[in-house]
Amino acid sequence: MPPSILITRPLPQEAMSLAQARATVDLYAGPYPLTKADLIARLRDKGGLVCLITETIDAQVLGAAPGLKVVANVAVGFNNIDVAAAAARGIVVTNTPDVLTETTADFAWALLMATARRVAEGDQYVRAGKFTRWEWELLWGSDVHGKTLGILGFGRIGKAMARRARGFGMRVLYHDTVRADAAAERELGATFVDRATLLKEADFVTVHTPLSPETRHLIGAKELRQMKRTAYLINASRGPCVNEAELVQAVKEGWIAGAGLDVYEEEPKVHPGLFSLPNVVLAPHIASASHETRLKMATLAVENCLAVLEGKTPPTPVNPEVLRK
Ligand code: GLV
Protein backbone atom coordinates (compact mmCIF):
# COMPACT_ATOMS: atom_id res chain seq x y z
CA MET A 1 0.00 0.00 0.00
CA PRO A 2 1.38 3.47 -0.81
CA PRO A 3 2.19 5.62 2.22
CA SER A 4 -0.26 8.32 3.21
CA ILE A 5 0.79 11.92 3.62
CA LEU A 6 -0.85 15.17 4.58
CA ILE A 7 0.08 18.29 2.63
CA THR A 8 -1.14 21.40 4.37
CA ARG A 9 -1.41 23.69 1.36
CA PRO A 10 -1.64 23.22 -2.43
CA LEU A 11 1.90 23.19 -3.81
CA PRO A 12 3.02 23.77 -7.41
CA GLN A 13 1.62 21.08 -9.71
CA GLU A 14 4.97 19.35 -10.36
CA ALA A 15 5.47 18.80 -6.63
CA MET A 16 1.86 17.67 -6.13
CA SER A 17 2.19 15.19 -9.02
CA LEU A 18 5.39 13.77 -7.55
CA ALA A 19 3.65 13.23 -4.22
CA GLN A 20 0.51 11.79 -5.80
CA ALA A 21 2.49 9.33 -7.93
CA ARG A 22 4.06 7.66 -4.89
CA ALA A 23 1.67 8.30 -1.99
CA THR A 24 -1.94 8.70 -1.05
CA VAL A 25 -2.20 12.44 -0.55
CA ASP A 26 -4.61 14.20 1.79
CA LEU A 27 -4.41 17.81 0.61
CA TYR A 28 -5.70 20.52 2.90
CA ALA A 29 -6.90 23.24 0.56
CA GLY A 30 -8.09 25.81 3.08
CA PRO A 31 -9.48 27.93 4.59
CA TYR A 32 -6.17 28.99 6.07
CA PRO A 33 -4.60 28.73 8.47
CA LEU A 34 -5.14 25.08 9.33
CA THR A 35 -6.28 24.98 12.95
CA LYS A 36 -4.45 22.83 15.44
CA ALA A 37 -7.55 20.69 15.94
CA ASP A 38 -7.87 20.08 12.17
CA LEU A 39 -4.17 19.37 11.88
CA ILE A 40 -4.34 16.78 14.66
CA ALA A 41 -7.48 15.18 13.21
CA ARG A 42 -6.07 14.89 9.68
CA LEU A 43 -2.62 13.74 10.78
CA ARG A 44 -3.83 10.86 12.97
CA ASP A 45 -3.56 8.19 10.23
CA LYS A 46 -0.65 9.67 8.23
CA GLY A 47 2.93 8.47 7.81
CA GLY A 48 4.22 11.79 6.48
CA LEU A 49 3.53 15.49 6.76
CA VAL A 50 4.54 18.21 4.31
CA CYS A 51 3.92 21.50 6.10
CA LEU A 52 4.74 25.20 5.99
CA ILE A 53 6.00 27.65 8.58
CA THR A 54 2.40 28.61 9.37
CA GLU A 55 1.89 25.23 11.07
CA THR A 56 3.16 24.74 14.60
CA ILE A 57 4.28 21.15 14.96
CA ASP A 58 4.63 20.72 18.70
CA ALA A 59 4.75 17.70 20.99
CA GLN A 60 0.95 17.57 21.17
CA VAL A 61 0.58 17.39 17.38
CA LEU A 62 3.39 14.82 17.08
CA GLY A 63 1.94 12.78 19.94
CA ALA A 64 -1.45 12.56 18.22
CA ALA A 65 0.00 10.88 15.11
CA PRO A 66 1.25 7.42 16.12
CA GLY A 67 2.29 6.39 12.60
CA LEU A 68 4.10 9.62 11.70
CA LYS A 69 7.63 9.05 10.40
CA VAL A 70 8.55 12.36 8.79
CA VAL A 71 7.79 16.08 9.01
CA ALA A 72 8.99 17.81 5.84
CA ASN A 73 8.98 21.59 6.27
CA VAL A 74 8.76 23.67 3.09
CA ALA A 75 11.26 26.21 4.47
CA VAL A 76 14.86 26.37 5.51
CA GLY A 77 13.94 27.64 8.99
CA PHE A 78 12.28 25.05 11.21
CA ASN A 79 11.56 26.93 14.42
CA ASN A 80 7.86 26.02 13.91
CA ILE A 81 8.74 22.40 14.67
CA ASP A 82 9.68 20.90 18.03
CA VAL A 83 12.65 18.95 16.65
CA ALA A 84 13.59 17.46 20.04
CA ALA A 85 10.06 16.10 20.51
CA ALA A 86 10.17 14.67 16.98
CA ALA A 87 13.56 13.04 17.57
CA ALA A 88 12.32 11.52 20.84
CA ARG A 89 9.57 9.81 18.83
CA GLY A 90 11.92 8.72 16.04
CA ILE A 91 10.35 11.19 13.60
CA VAL A 92 12.64 12.63 10.94
CA VAL A 93 12.41 16.39 10.37
CA THR A 94 13.60 17.86 7.07
CA ASN A 95 13.92 21.38 5.68
CA THR A 96 14.73 23.00 2.32
CA PRO A 97 18.21 24.54 2.48
CA ASP A 98 20.38 25.51 -0.50
CA VAL A 99 17.57 25.84 -3.06
CA LEU A 100 16.53 29.20 -1.58
CA THR A 101 19.91 30.65 -0.64
CA GLU A 102 20.43 32.94 -3.63
CA THR A 103 16.78 33.98 -3.87
CA THR A 104 16.67 34.93 -0.20
CA ALA A 105 19.91 36.87 -0.49
CA ASP A 106 18.54 38.63 -3.60
CA PHE A 107 15.58 39.79 -1.55
CA ALA A 108 17.60 40.83 1.49
CA TRP A 109 19.72 42.83 -0.95
CA ALA A 110 16.58 44.35 -2.46
CA LEU A 111 15.47 45.41 1.03
CA LEU A 112 18.89 46.90 1.68
CA MET A 113 18.81 48.86 -1.57
CA ALA A 114 15.18 49.91 -1.14
CA THR A 115 15.86 51.15 2.37
CA ALA A 116 19.05 53.04 1.54
CA ARG A 117 17.67 54.57 -1.65
CA ARG A 118 14.10 55.19 -0.42
CA VAL A 119 12.45 53.16 -3.18
CA ALA A 120 9.16 52.60 -1.33
CA GLU A 121 8.83 56.29 -0.46
CA GLY A 122 9.47 57.17 -4.10
CA ASP A 123 6.80 54.75 -5.25
CA GLN A 124 4.28 56.22 -2.83
CA TYR A 125 5.21 59.75 -3.91
CA VAL A 126 4.55 59.01 -7.58
CA ARG A 127 1.31 57.10 -6.91
CA ALA A 128 0.05 59.97 -4.76
CA GLY A 129 0.37 62.29 -7.78
CA LYS A 130 3.05 64.37 -6.07
CA PHE A 131 5.60 64.09 -8.88
CA THR A 132 4.65 67.34 -10.59
CA ARG A 133 8.21 68.51 -11.32
CA TRP A 134 11.76 67.27 -10.86
CA GLU A 135 13.11 68.32 -7.48
CA TRP A 136 16.80 68.71 -6.60
CA GLU A 137 16.29 67.85 -2.94
CA LEU A 138 13.83 65.03 -3.35
CA LEU A 139 14.31 61.79 -1.38
CA TRP A 140 18.05 61.85 -0.84
CA GLY A 141 19.22 58.52 0.49
CA SER A 142 22.44 56.81 1.35
CA ASP A 143 25.00 55.23 -0.98
CA VAL A 144 25.41 51.48 -0.82
CA HIS A 145 28.58 51.06 -2.88
CA GLY A 146 31.80 51.54 -0.99
CA LYS A 147 30.13 51.19 2.41
CA THR A 148 30.62 48.58 5.14
CA LEU A 149 28.26 45.61 5.32
CA GLY A 150 27.99 43.77 8.64
CA ILE A 151 26.64 40.24 8.36
CA LEU A 152 25.34 38.57 11.51
CA GLY A 153 25.14 34.83 10.83
CA PHE A 154 27.59 33.63 8.20
CA GLY A 155 25.80 30.54 6.94
CA ARG A 156 24.72 29.93 3.37
CA ILE A 157 22.60 33.09 3.07
CA GLY A 158 25.05 35.28 4.98
CA LYS A 159 27.80 34.19 2.60
CA ALA A 160 25.56 34.88 -0.41
CA MET A 161 25.18 38.44 0.92
CA ALA A 162 28.96 38.77 1.12
CA ARG A 163 29.23 37.72 -2.54
CA ARG A 164 26.77 40.41 -3.57
CA ALA A 165 28.63 43.03 -1.53
CA ARG A 166 31.81 42.44 -3.53
CA GLY A 167 30.06 43.71 -6.66
CA PHE A 168 29.25 46.92 -4.79
CA GLY A 169 32.83 47.43 -3.68
CA MET A 170 31.87 47.10 -0.04
CA ARG A 171 33.98 46.22 2.95
CA VAL A 172 32.45 43.08 4.50
CA LEU A 173 32.52 42.27 8.20
CA TYR A 174 30.83 39.22 9.66
CA HIS A 175 30.17 37.61 12.98
CA ASP A 176 29.03 34.09 13.78
CA THR A 177 29.48 31.62 16.62
CA VAL A 178 31.80 29.65 14.32
CA ARG A 179 34.43 31.42 12.25
CA ALA A 180 34.54 30.53 8.55
CA ASP A 181 37.70 28.91 7.23
CA ALA A 182 40.45 31.11 5.84
CA ALA A 183 39.77 30.08 2.23
CA ALA A 184 36.09 31.12 2.48
CA GLU A 185 37.05 34.42 4.12
CA ARG A 186 39.53 35.09 1.34
CA GLU A 187 37.16 34.11 -1.46
CA LEU A 188 34.35 36.27 -0.06
CA GLY A 189 36.60 39.11 1.06
CA ALA A 190 34.97 38.95 4.50
CA THR A 191 36.60 39.78 7.83
CA PHE A 192 35.60 38.09 11.06
CA VAL A 193 35.02 40.56 13.91
CA ASP A 194 33.31 40.46 17.30
CA ARG A 195 29.69 41.52 17.43
CA ALA A 196 30.39 44.90 19.05
CA THR A 197 32.90 45.85 16.35
CA LEU A 198 30.48 44.82 13.61
CA LEU A 199 27.67 46.90 15.11
CA LYS A 200 29.95 49.89 15.59
CA GLU A 201 31.51 49.89 12.11
CA ALA A 202 28.81 48.64 9.71
CA ASP A 203 26.72 50.98 7.58
CA PHE A 204 24.29 48.10 7.00
CA VAL A 205 23.73 45.35 9.56
CA THR A 206 21.99 42.35 8.03
CA VAL A 207 20.73 39.43 10.11
CA HIS A 208 20.95 35.87 8.75
CA THR A 209 20.87 33.68 11.84
CA PRO A 210 18.37 30.88 12.45
CA LEU A 211 15.97 31.54 15.34
CA SER A 212 17.04 29.75 18.53
CA PRO A 213 17.03 30.64 22.23
CA GLU A 214 20.53 32.12 21.64
CA THR A 215 19.46 34.37 18.76
CA ARG A 216 16.12 35.57 20.16
CA HIS A 217 16.47 39.36 20.51
CA LEU A 218 19.98 39.22 19.12
CA ILE A 219 19.31 42.85 18.20
CA GLY A 220 17.70 45.00 20.87
CA ALA A 221 18.14 48.43 22.40
CA LYS A 222 21.72 47.76 23.50
CA GLU A 223 22.83 46.67 20.04
CA LEU A 224 20.86 49.39 18.22
CA ARG A 225 22.58 51.99 20.38
CA GLN A 226 25.95 50.56 19.33
CA MET A 227 25.14 51.09 15.64
CA LYS A 228 25.98 54.28 13.74
CA ARG A 229 23.21 56.87 13.58
CA THR A 230 23.56 56.63 9.79
CA ALA A 231 23.31 52.82 9.68
CA TYR A 232 20.45 50.59 8.56
CA LEU A 233 19.22 47.27 9.93
CA ILE A 234 18.05 44.57 7.52
CA ASN A 235 16.23 41.45 8.71
CA ALA A 236 15.14 38.64 6.39
CA SER A 237 15.78 35.82 8.89
CA ARG A 238 13.19 35.45 11.65
CA GLY A 239 11.30 38.28 13.34
CA PRO A 240 12.11 37.39 16.95
CA CYS A 241 15.85 37.80 16.25
CA VAL A 242 15.08 41.53 16.58
CA ASN A 243 13.26 43.17 19.47
CA GLU A 244 10.64 44.98 17.39
CA ALA A 245 9.46 47.44 20.06
CA GLU A 246 13.04 48.52 20.68
CA LEU A 247 13.66 48.82 16.94
CA VAL A 248 10.65 51.15 16.66
CA GLN A 249 12.11 53.31 19.43
CA ALA A 250 15.55 53.29 17.79
CA VAL A 251 14.24 54.44 14.40
CA LYS A 252 11.84 56.96 15.91
CA GLU A 253 14.52 58.53 18.05
CA GLY A 254 17.19 58.43 15.34
CA TRP A 255 19.59 55.96 16.95
CA ILE A 256 19.80 54.41 13.45
CA ALA A 257 18.82 55.69 9.99
CA GLY A 258 16.22 53.08 9.10
CA ALA A 259 15.40 49.43 8.59
CA GLY A 260 14.27 46.92 6.00
CA LEU A 261 12.19 44.05 7.36
CA ASP A 262 10.75 40.92 5.79
CA VAL A 263 9.89 39.22 9.09
CA TYR A 264 8.19 40.24 12.33
CA GLU A 265 8.27 39.21 15.93
CA GLU A 266 4.63 38.09 16.09
CA GLU A 267 3.98 37.43 12.44
CA PRO A 268 1.63 38.20 10.76
CA LYS A 269 1.13 40.93 13.37
CA VAL A 270 3.36 43.93 12.74
CA HIS A 271 4.26 46.34 15.54
CA PRO A 272 1.92 49.32 14.89
CA GLY A 273 4.80 51.73 15.49
CA LEU A 274 6.47 50.54 12.28
CA PHE A 275 3.63 51.74 10.05
CA SER A 276 4.31 55.41 10.70
CA LEU A 277 8.06 55.23 10.04
CA PRO A 278 8.78 56.19 6.41
CA ASN A 279 12.41 55.11 6.72
CA VAL A 280 11.40 51.50 7.38
CA VAL A 281 10.61 49.26 4.40
CA LEU A 282 8.16 46.48 5.23
CA ALA A 283 7.71 43.25 3.28
CA PRO A 284 5.35 40.34 4.05
CA HIS A 285 7.89 37.51 4.56
CA ILE A 286 8.54 36.90 0.86
CA ALA A 287 12.32 36.55 0.66
CA SER A 288 12.18 33.08 -0.91
CA ALA A 289 9.09 33.84 -2.98
CA SER A 290 10.19 33.48 -6.58
CA HIS A 291 8.41 31.09 -8.94
CA GLU A 292 11.58 29.11 -9.51
CA THR A 293 12.58 28.79 -5.88
CA ARG A 294 9.15 28.03 -4.45
CA LEU A 295 8.89 25.15 -6.96
CA LYS A 296 12.31 23.86 -5.88
CA MET A 297 11.38 24.15 -2.19
CA ALA A 298 8.10 22.27 -2.67
CA THR A 299 9.76 19.54 -4.72
CA LEU A 300 12.57 19.10 -2.22
CA ALA A 301 10.10 18.86 0.68
CA VAL A 302 8.08 16.19 -1.15
CA GLU A 303 11.29 14.30 -2.03
CA ASN A 304 12.34 14.41 1.63
CA CYS A 305 8.97 13.11 2.76
CA LEU A 306 8.81 10.29 0.20
CA ALA A 307 12.41 9.22 0.83
CA VAL A 308 11.80 8.64 4.54
CA LEU A 309 8.55 6.78 3.87
CA GLU A 310 10.30 4.58 1.30
CA GLY A 311 13.13 3.75 3.71
CA LYS A 312 15.72 5.89 1.95
CA THR A 313 17.93 8.69 3.24
CA PRO A 314 16.19 12.04 2.68
CA PRO A 315 18.27 14.72 0.89
CA THR A 316 18.14 17.33 3.67
CA PRO A 317 17.36 16.03 7.16
CA VAL A 318 17.53 18.36 10.15
CA ASN A 319 17.92 15.55 12.69
CA PRO A 320 19.95 12.90 10.83
CA GLU A 321 20.68 11.10 14.13
CA VAL A 322 17.12 9.70 13.96
CA LEU A 323 17.99 7.94 10.68
CA ARG A 324 20.93 6.15 12.25
CA LYS A 325 18.82 4.55 15.01
C1 GLV B 1 11.37 31.02 5.08
O2 GLV B 1 11.25 31.84 5.89
C3 GLV B 1 12.21 29.86 5.23
O4 GLV B 1 12.69 29.61 6.34
O5 GLV B 1 12.41 29.15 4.24
Domains delineated in the chain: 4-97+291-324 (3.40.50.720), 101-282 (3.40.50.720)
Pairing mode, if any, of strands 148-152 and 204-207? parallel
Q: Is the CB of 101 under 6 A from ligand 1?
A: no
117 burial via Cβ count (<10 Å: 0-12, 13-18, 19+): middle
DSSP H helices in 168-202: 182-188, 195-201
Catalytic residue among 118, 175, 238, 294, which? 238
For the cut 80, the answer to whether the pLDDT of residue 306 exceeds it is yes
- Per the annotation, the verdict on 135 as an active-site residue is no
Coil, strand or helix: which one is 206?
strand
Annotate 74-114 with DSSP letters as a single string. SSS--TTB-HHHHHHTT-EEE---STTHHHHHHHHHHHHHH
| Nearest residue (CA) to ligand 1, atom 1 | 75
Query: What is the Å distance from ligand 1's center to 125 Cα?
Result: 32
Element (H, E) at 192: strand 190-192
Q: What is the pLDDT of residue 160?
A: 98
pLDDT, one tens digit per residue, over 272-298 is 999 999 999 999 999 999 999 999 999
Specify the pLDDT at position 313: 97
246 is catalytic: no
Task: Give the tens place of pLDDT for each residue, 144-173.
Answer: 999 999 999 999 999 999 999 999 999 999
CB of residue 122 inside a 6 A radius of ligand 1: no
* Active-site annotation holds for 175: no
